[in-house]
Amino acid sequence: MRRTFAYNGIIIGILVGLLIGVAAKSAVVMIIAMIGISILAFAIIRLFENAVSAGVDKAASAIEDKINERKNNR
């Protein structure tokens, strides 16, 4: 199981939501912004992590295939 940093999206959402709430001078807007941005940031970070993970797995597989190919050619 890989480590995820997506939960940092919640912290980002809370901080940005606070800023938006202060700028709008509205507690309701602040809470809505906190929730919405937290969900969005979490999803974006997970998508990025999954894309990077897939790329790393593909590269590792290609390297392993090349090593096995060279071993078989000896």
Assess whether pLDDT exceeds 80 at residue 61.
Answer: yes
What would the pLDDT profile of 14-42 be if each residue is shown by its tens digit? 999 999 999 999 999 999 999 999 999 99
What values do phi and psi take at 71, rounded to 5?
-65, -40
Q: Are 13 and 35 in contact (CB under 8 A)?
A: yes
What would the pLDDT profile of 36-57 be if each residue is shown by its tens digit? 999 999 999 999 999 999 999 9
What values do phi and psi take at 52, rounded to 5?
-65, -45
Domain ranges of the chain: 8-72
The tokens for 51 are 């894309």
Assess whether pLDDT exceeds 90 at residue 4.
Answer: no
SS3 25: coil
Note the pTM of the prediction, 2 decimals: 0.77
